[in-house]
Amino acid sequence: MRKPIIAGNWKMNMTPTEAIELVRALAPLVKDAKCDVVVCPPAIDLSFVAEAISGTNIKLGAQNVHWADKGAYTGEISAKMLLDLGVKYAIVGHSERRQYFGETDETVNMRAKAAIAAGITPIICVGESLEQRENGVTDAVVTVQTVAALKDIEAEQVANLVIAYEPIWAIGTGKTATKEDANATIKVIRDAVRGVFGQNVSDRVRIQYGGSMNPKNVSELMSMDEIDGGLIGGASLKADDFSKVVNYQ
């Protein structure tokens, strides 16, 4: 059985003060969660959130990680730096990073390998645009992205990382893939993993849905056999909403 994982991606929201208030309010609401609970605040908030969640079941995640250990990469943050703050997870290849900041399948792979090498679990994002979905190439797009992201990563490492299926057209739009469509595409992603790494790995890797999951639709999405959790955007910015997603069972 794959343990569900619900991760909140705060994106560019929350000052350090607001971040502390949010996780302090969240902690008692999710203390009995049956899934893994992760919050991914902006980099400037990480140290404050790390202290605020100490002793709770909430794990700390970063929104990005660089592939180099150190060097002349102004504005970037290394896996070693994140690890020192207590970061356990790092989002890699989010569609907004791909769309606005030039992220490619190759750099996604490099970032994922750097996270793994440091002992941080990457949450690797894949997903198609509205145009790609309308052109009927969703399966091909997510397969290519998945295989490229996992290049030269060992099978056991793949089994222990997280993949997030993010239909780009459903992020922040209020639109959501039907539970059947989301489940079917996540199965395509799992099949892509199986094609490279075998059945055992594909059965173990956790794959989240990342397209506007919220308290209203979480139960139906999580009822599907291929969906192992959610990468939550807007609903993660309010303790009450995020806790309802976490406590969907």
Catalytic residues: 94, 166
Tokens linked to 35 = 């899934």
In Å, what is the CA distance from 21 to each residue of 10, 14, 49, 144, 234? 14, 10, 9, 40, 17
How far apart are alpha carbons 168 and 135 in whole angstroms? 14
Q: Identify the H or E element spanning 147.
A: helix 138-149
For residue 89, give the 3-state DSSP assignment: strand
Q: Minimal CA–CA distance to 160: which of 225, 64, 89?
A: 89
- Which value, in Å, is the radius of gyration of the alpha carbons in the chain? 17
128 closest CA partner among 66, 205, 182: 182
Is residue 202 exposed (0-12), middle (13-18) or buried (19+ Cβ within 10 Å)?
A: buried
User: 179-197 and 138-149 helices cross at what angle (nearest 10)?
Assistant: 40
